[in-house]
């Protein structure tokens, strides 16, 4: 009886150890699966982030190209009108403007990386590159006069563009575009 009891006790202890090992093994497998899922999710998020970054860079480049095209058209108009064109002055102004816009773009990306995508989504992709550029300047809390100087246009044109952007975003006349963009940036 003693041997039988001792045998059963040893057998139950071995069975308990085996069950513990199986539990640990299954717990490790579950943990590995969770870590693998987390790694895959992180990789997916990284890919999405990279894709968004590429879209933002493409949008920023489109804004810059739009501005360059406008500048070339202005030079062409001045040449056609017979106005004297000081190319050195235009070149310096353009370099300053490029640096300012690049700084603005970087500030927006640091503070709110999804800003351009959100605005475009809210407007149903109706916003032009110039509209997005104007939104960027508004988001940076620039007033109409400053924006007009930066974009080399009249203040009246900036106000009209703001009005068109409000329409594209579906805002009422009473709603403030500046406030709307600031709130969108804080989301």
**Can you spell out the DSSP letters for 76-116?**
HHHHHHT----HHHHHHHHHHHHHHHHHHHHHHHHH-TTHH
Residue 104 has pLDDT above 70, yes or no: no
Q: What is the CATH code for 2-186?
A: 1.10.10.10
The 10 Å Cβ neighbour count of residue 70 is 14
pLDDT of res. 32: 96
pLDDT of residue 75: 72
- pLDDT-derived band at 35, boundaries 50, 70, 90: very high
Mean pLDDT of the region 145-163? 82
- Do 186 and 180 form a contact (C-beta atoms < 8 A)? no
* 37, pLDDT greater than 80: yes
Percent of the chain with pLDDT over 90: 20
- Can you tell me the mean pLDDT for 78-106? 63
For residues 108-112, average pLDDT: 63
- Helices of type H across 112-140: 115-122, 129-139
* Mean pLDDT of all residues belonging to the chain: 79
pLDDT at residue 73 in the model: 75
């Amino acid at each position: 009886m003693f041997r039988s009891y001792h045998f059963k006790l040893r057998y139950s202890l071995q069975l308990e150890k085996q069950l513990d090992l199986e539990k640990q093994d299954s717990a490790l497998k579950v943990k590995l699966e969770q870590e693998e899922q987390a790694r895959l999710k992180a990789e997916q998020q990284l890919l999405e982030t990279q894709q968004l970054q590429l879209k933002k860079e493409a949008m920023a480049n489109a804004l810059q190209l739009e501005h360059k095209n406008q500048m070339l058209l202005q030079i062409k108009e001045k040449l056609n009108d017979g106005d004297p064109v000081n190319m050195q002055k235009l070149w310096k102004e353009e370099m300053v403007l490029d640096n300012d816009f690049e700084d603005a773009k970087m500030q927006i990306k640091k503070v709110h990386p999804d800003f351009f995508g959100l605005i475009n989504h809210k407007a149903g992709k109706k916003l032009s590159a110039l509209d997005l550029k104007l939104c960027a300047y508004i988001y940076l809390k620039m007033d109409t006069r400053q924006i007009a100087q930066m974009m080399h246009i009249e203040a009246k044109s900036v106000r009209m563009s703001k009005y068109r952007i409000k329409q594209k975003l579906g805002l009422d006349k009473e709603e403030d575009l500046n406030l709307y963009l600031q709130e969108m940036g804080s989301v």
